Amino acid sequence: MTIKEILVCGNPRLREKSEKVAKISKSIEQLVSDMFDTLQKAKGIGLAAPQIGVLKRVIIIDLHTKDEDYTGVMINPEITKKYGEKTVMQEGCLSIPEVYCDVERPEFIDVSYMSLYGKKEKMIGVGKMLSRVIQHEVDHLNGVLFIDRLNKEERMKAAVILEKSKNIEKQKPESNL
């Protein structure tokens, strides 16, 4: 079990665009395993490789709600179509702790990707929460954070929360000795 550090907002690696994965290798398999260990420890529902400092186009999802149950890996995911009404839902991010904001995204997507076994896959008409999680994680692969999708007023609120959380972190003692 390998738990990686999740990079937080302000780290420049979160703003870089990720590279496509050419083939499934042992290092990609290990990356996916580490990502699931990290996601489980963080109690999240999605994680993109750049969030642990690896600039590869890999996302994982572990989503379990009343209406949706999906656990999977998407390598080189590409959203091929966005449609339906734009809906607003609150989003958070493991890389932006303590910040939750309303984000508008298309309700449905089509996505193509490669499985961990190297097989090309498609999901058509993905809706609700799974669609939102995929869009959020694919944004990470492109160096985009959910706060970039906020209007100016919401972005300023998020900045205030981020600044407060940084100040709280600075005040914590370095050890419990």
Catalytic residues: 137
Residues 85-99 have pLDDT tens digits of 999 999 999 999 989
Q: For residues 177 and 166, what is the distance between their CA atoms, to the nearest angstrom?
A: 23
pLDDT of residue 160: 85
3-state secondary structure of 104: strand
- The domain that holds 66 is classified in CATH as 3.90.45.10
User: Does some domain include residue 128?
Assistant: yes
User: Does some domain include residue 117?
Assistant: yes
Into how many domains does the chain fold?
1
Task: Map tokens 């994965």 to a residue.
Answer: 21
Q: For residues 69 and 71, what is the distance between their CA atoms, to the nearest angstrom?
A: 7
**Who's near 80: CB < 8 A, 6+ residues apart?**
110, 111, 112
Dmax (CA) for the chain in angstroms is 56
Is a pLDDT exceeding 90 seen at residue 35? yes
Domain that holds residue 62: 12-170
Residues 49-67 have pLDDT tens digits of 999 999 999 999 999 999 9
User: Does some domain include residue 141?
Assistant: yes
pLDDT of residue 117: 95
Confidence of residue 7 (pLDDT cuts 50, 70, 90): very high
pLDDT of residue 172: 47
User: Does some domain include residue 154?
Assistant: yes
User: Does some domain include residue 5?
Assistant: no
Q: pTM for this structure?
A: 0.91
